[in-house]
């Protein structure tokens, strides 16, 4: 990455690669301390106040090796707050602090439409997805998907010529599924390949929901083409809805289990889609939000919110092994949000708190 020797970028990587620090924790630390370097210095004290040992910090030597590996792969870093970081992705509460990419960043300057669906999709659905992606590209959109088998693959194939964006659950150097290795490399050269995990990371089950939230966060709308109930595609649709994006679905036969997810989405209020024109009409109201901002504010003013021991105990008493919304903790405790967030931060760094989807937390 340009000027990557800057110490603040190295510190940002060291922070996000450290134990017990995910995207939400990272953002709270930056908001509180202003810089990654200051946050790294503060972590031992925060963990001690949370009643545990300080988490293991990533070694700087390991971060430097990662940087060398990324550069050797012909990839680069994109940090939250940098000019080309997608503004819609920056809106979500667990926006990835850093992405690794290969390919064309200019594809992020277009309206982005997510296309997801069944891995075991029917031939007819794959053909439809391929044509829909092609037509969306011709209409000026970048098609975003996850390079999985089935609908994802068809969406990338259909939009490769116009501009496709693949978000993968592995490191930038790992092809998954293996049969898409050639397509992944082609996207890295002709489209845009994005990874949140460091190089060498094999895809694990826990990585796919993280990937799905990036697909949903990038896009002004998500189209689902064939999806079984409780599938990963429906998770992406739910994340898109929670982020205030348009959710669209292609109807299918009630006799086909692969259509049940889409038909249920439509019954619950998703927009029925039959063509690229339908998609562009549905996302029309979102156009005003898609404004390319070349100076995304992320230089947060440090937030001072130290909690008393009584306040820590009050919040701790409200926590259990059952995930609860942070907003509910704020309401029941009657404490300022900054105090509650500080205590949760201390507990998480001490290894005593887990964060869940939907802004929920529980005891570890």
Instruction: Out of 84-93, 139-148, 162-171, pick the least confident.
Output: 84-93
User: CB-hemisphere CA count at 13 Å for 97?
Assistant: 26
Question: Does the pLDDT at position 70 exceed 90?
Answer: yes
Average pLDDT over residues 68-96: 93
Tens-place pLDDT, residues 231-254: 889 999 999 999 999 999 999 999
Percent of the chain surpassing pLDDT 70:
93
Tell me which residue has tokens 């300080």. 54
Q: How far apart are CA 301 and CA 317, in angstroms?
A: 30
By the 10 Å C-beta count (0-12 exposed, 13-18 middle, 19+ buried), 221 is classed as buried
Question: Does the pLDDT at position 305 exceed 80?
Answer: no
> How many of the other CB atoms lie within 10 Å of CB of 122?
18
Which residues have a Cβ under 8 Å from the Cβ of 65 and sit 6 or more positions away?
A: none
Average pLDDT over residues 94-118: 96
Question: Does the pLDDT at position 71 exceed 50?
Answer: yes
Tell me which residue has tokens 């404004």. 291
Question: Does the pLDDT at position 296 exceed 70?
Answer: no
Do residues 148 and 177 touch, judged by C-beta distance below 8 A? yes
Q: How far apart are CA 205 and CA 19, in angstroms?
A: 19
CA angle, residues 82, 88, 94, in degrees to nearest 5: 80
Tens-place pLDDT, residues 245-281: 999 999 999 989 999 999 999 999 999 999 999 999 9
Tens-place pLDDT, residues 154-168: 999 999 999 999 999
Do residues 158 and 117 touch, judged by C-beta distance below 8 A? no
- Predicted local distance difference test score (pLDDT) of residue 288: 54
Question: Does the pLDDT at position 290 exceed 80?
Answer: no
Residues in the chain: 364
Q: How far apart are CA 250 and CA 238, in angstroms?
A: 16
Question: Does the pLDDT at position 224 exceed 80?
Answer: yes
- Predicted local distance difference test score (pLDDT) of residue 52: 86
**Chain mean position to CA 287:** 21
- Average pLDDT score, the chain: 90
Taking the CA atoms of 115, 119, 121 and 127 in sequence, report the sign of the dihedral they define.
Answer: positive
- Predicted local distance difference test score (pLDDT) of residue 232: 87
Do residues 259 and 233 touch, judged by C-beta distance below 8 A? no
Tens-place pLDDT, residues 2-30: 444 467 889 999 999 999 999 999 999 99
Q: Is the peptide bond before 177 cis (omega within 30 degrees of 0)?
A: yes
- Predicted local distance difference test score (pLDDT) of residue 289: 55
Q: What is the pTM of this model?
A: 0.89
Question: Does the pLDDT at position 346 exceed 60?
Answer: yes
> How many of the other CB atoms lie within 10 Å of CB of 52?
18
If DSSP states are collapsed to H, E and C, what string results for 173-242? CCCCCHHHHHHHHHHHHHCEEEECCCCCCCCCCCHHHHHHHHHHHHCCEEEEECCCCCCHHHHHHHHHHH
Tell me which residue has tokens 């630390």. 29
Pairing mode of beta strands 271-272, 221-225: unpaired
Tell me which residue has tokens 């919040």. 315
Question: Does the pLDDT at position 299 exceed 80?
Answer: no
Tens-place pLDDT, residues 184-207: 999 999 999 999 999 999 999 989
Taking the CA atoms of 194, 218, 97 and 6 in sequence, report the sign of the dihedral they define.
Answer: positive
Q: How confident is the model at residue 353 (pLDDT cuts 50, 70, 90)?
A: very high
Q: How far apart are CA 261 and CA 133, in angstroms?
A: 20
CA 82 vs CA 89, 167, 311: distances in Å:
12, 19, 36
Q: Which of 362, 315, 213, 302 is nearest to 28 (CA)?
A: 302
């Amino acid at each position: 990455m340009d000027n990557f020797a800057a110490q603040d970028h190295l510190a940002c990587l060291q922070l996000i690669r450290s134990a017990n620090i995910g995207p939400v924790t990272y953002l709270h630390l930056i908001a509180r301390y202003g810089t990654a370097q200051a946050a790294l210095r503060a972590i031992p004290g925060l963990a001690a106040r949370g009643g545990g040992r300080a988490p293991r910090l990533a070694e700087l030597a390991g971060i430097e090796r990662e940087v060398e590996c990324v550069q050797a792969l012909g990839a680069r870093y994109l940090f939250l707050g940098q000019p080309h970081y997608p503004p819609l992705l920056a809106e979500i509460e667990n926006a990835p602090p850093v992405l690794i990419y290969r390919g064309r960043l200019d594809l992020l300057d277009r309206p982005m439409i997510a296309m997801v669906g069944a891995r075991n999709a029917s031939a007819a659905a794959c053909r439809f997805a391929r044509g829909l992606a092609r037509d969306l590209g011709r209409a000026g959109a970048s098609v975003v998907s996850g390079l999985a088998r089935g609908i994802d693959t068809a969406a990338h194939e259909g939009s490769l010529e116009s501009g496709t964006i693949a978000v993968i659950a592995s490191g930038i150097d790992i092809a998954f599924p293996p049969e898409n290795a050639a397509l992944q490399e082609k996207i890295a050269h002709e489209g845009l390949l994005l990874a949140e995990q460091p190089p060498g990371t094999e895809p694990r089950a826990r990585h796919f929901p993280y990937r799905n939230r990036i697909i949903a966060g990038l896009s002004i709308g998500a189209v689902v083409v064939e999806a079984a109930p409780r599938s990963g595609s429906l998770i992406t649709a739910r994340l898109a809805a929670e982020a205030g994006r348009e959710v669209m679905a292609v109807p299918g036969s009630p006799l086909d289990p692969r259509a049940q997810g889409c038909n249920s989405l439509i019954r619950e209020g998703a927009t029925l889609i039959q063509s690229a024109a339908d998609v562009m009409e549905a996302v029309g109201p979102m156009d005003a939000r898609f404004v390319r901002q070349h100076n995304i504010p992320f230089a947060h003013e440090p937030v001072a919110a130290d909690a008393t021991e009584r306040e820590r105990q009050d919040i701790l008493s409200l926590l259990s092994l059952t995930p609860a919304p942070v907003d509910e903790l704020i309401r029941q405790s009657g404490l300022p949000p900054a105090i509650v967030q500080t205590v949760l931060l201390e507990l998480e760094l001490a290894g005593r708190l887990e964060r869940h989807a939907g802004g929920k937390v529980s005891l570890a």
